[in-house]
Amino acid sequence: MKLSKLASTLTPYTAGEQPKEKTVKLNTNENPYPPSPAVERALREFDTAKYRLYPDPTASGLRRAIAEYEGVNTENVFVGNGSDEVLSFAFAAFYGGEDKPVLFADVTYSFYKVFGSLYGVNYRELPLTADMRLDIKSIIGHADDSCGCVFANPNAPTSIAEEREALLELAEAYGEKPVIADEAYADFSHVRSMAGDVFTHKNLLVVKTFSKSRSLAGARCGYAIGDSELIDALRTVKNCFNSYPVNAVTAAAAEAAIRDREYFDKCVSKITYERGRMTAKLRELGFELPDSDANFVFAEYPGVSGEQLQNGLRSRGIVVRRFNSPRIKDRLRITVGTGEDTDVLISALREMLSGGSGQF
């Protein structure tokens, strides 16, 4: 069968492995802890008779809960099936059909390139600095030559967060051109979210997810915070695609999760504590890695390839993520799991490294 010209040129995003056998799974940045008990109650009490009806097309109850949490108005909130869907709608709404390219880093969330290809969006990748940080001066310097920009903060897979003041300067430099801040991992960062800045920077759209800090990766729910004009544009694209993106069960679960701040704070605290412990132990073994602001670390071991390390861990039942692009092919992105997960990981690496590469 002959595919369309568009479909035949697409290179899809490669999701992290979901192994069938029992493993220590540290490759997809899932939360090691279960969702809030409030989510379990919401699911148990959900009226299944509602399944015969279409869900609320605007997920108004969930949007109200998000607005309360973020300190914005309901009209400033858009929800979708995970932050990936929200981001894809944003690419179509703000950059589709523009002559000038949208800008993003050369080492960042690889879905950005996929969205660009899918929607026929011109894009340009700007290199990270030598120490793997966003080159904010370069992004600002290319503002006139672009239709907008997208950045992840903290960045994935580097785990590095840029300071909010510098990013606000970037948003200011872009004037009316849309700037997207992808904050999938911001809940684990020392840098405060930019969600509250959408009132003073009307071109700023902040995208978040329930998958990481709120343990709802399986529910698929994400949201955006922005000026009502940006939110209306997202809603227009959504209604050209699917009028009912967030199902009723997911909306109920997500609303319960975002209202339970106490459980959320405890989970984030446990993960950031374990991140610090994992970082210290990896450095003791000789690994080099930046201080992480996410729920994962980005580590390399001098003189040993990332592929060797990944395969050696895989043979020991530990799954981590590696990206086969030149600048980062020897680094491993390792999700922060439980304390027990960290201990198993460090023990395996110590065994692998103690005998040299022959042990791999």
- Identify whether residues 119 and 177 lie together within a single domain: yes
End residue of a domain, out of 226, 259, 292: 259
Whether residue 296 is found in the same domain as residue 192: no
* Mean local confidence (pLDDT), 266-292: 98
pLDDT bucket at 118, cuts 50 / 70 / 90: confident
Mean pLDDT of all residues in 147-170: 98
* Residue 187 resides in a domain: yes
CA-CA distances (angstroms) from residue 314 to 22, 24, 62, 318, 320?
A: 11, 9, 40, 5, 8
**Predicted confidence (pLDDT) per residue in 173-190, tens digit:** 999 999 999 999 999 999
In the predicted model, is pLDDT for residue 268 greater than 50? yes
- Other CB atoms closer than 10 Å to residue 233's CB: what's the count? 20
Predicted pLDDT at 23: 76
pLDDT at 154 over 70: yes
Res 241: pLDDT:
87
The answer to whether residues 315 and 195 belong to one domain is no
The average pLDDT across 235-239 equals 94
How many structural domains are present in the chain? 2
> Does some domain include residue 2?
no
Any residues with CB less than 8 A from the CB of 130 and at least 6 apart, and which? none
Q: Which pLDDT value is given to residue 74?
A: 98
Q: Tell me if 189 is assigned to some domain.
A: yes
With pLDDT > 90 as the criterion, what percentage of the chain qualifies?
A: 88
Mean pLDDT of all residues in the chain?
A: 93
User: Of 359 and 217, which is predicted with more confidence?
Assistant: 217
Is the pLDDT score of 245 beyond 60?
yes
- Return the half-sphere exposure (C-beta side, CA atoms, 13 A cut-off) of residue 180: 32
Tokens of 102: 């949208």
pLDDT higher than 60, residue 325 = yes
In the predicted model, what is the mean pLDDT of residues 76-90? Answer: 97
Residues 64, 18 share a domain: no
200 in the same domain as 68: yes
Mean pLDDT computed over 100-124? 94
Residues 153 and 104 in one domain: yes
Contact 161, 177 (CB under 8 A): no
120 pLDDT higher than 70: yes
Domain harbouring 116, CATH code: 3.40.640.10
Residue 251 and residue 267 share a domain:
no
Instruction: Give yes or no: residues 170 and 299 share one domain.
Output: no
Q: Are residues 41 and 185 in the same domain?
A: yes
Is 152 within a domain?
A: yes
Q: What is the mean pLDDT of residues 192-218?
A: 97
66 — pLDDT class (breaks 50, 70, 90): very high
The residue out of 259, 290, 317 marking a domain boundary is 259
For the cut 70, the answer to whether the pLDDT of residue 358 exceeds it is no
Domain boundary among 232, 259, 286: 259
Do 185 and 121 fall within a single domain? Answer: yes
For residue 354, is it within any domain?
A: yes
What number is the average pLDDT over the span 248-259? 97
* Residue at 50 is within a domain: yes
Residues facing residue 319 across a β-bridge: 25
Does the residue 295 lie in any domain? yes
pLDDT of residue 357: 47
Same domain, 163 and 196: yes
Residue 23 lies in a domain: yes
Q: What are the backbone angles phi and psi of residue 185, rounded to the nearest 5°?
A: -115, 10
CATH number of domain containing 280: 3.90.1150.10
Percent of the chain with pLDDT over 70: 92
Same domain, 42 and 26: no
Full residue range of the structural domain in which residue 305 is found: 7-30+262-359
| Across 294-319, average pLDDT | 96
Q: How far apart are the C-alpha atoms of 235 and 242, rounded to whole Å?
A: 10
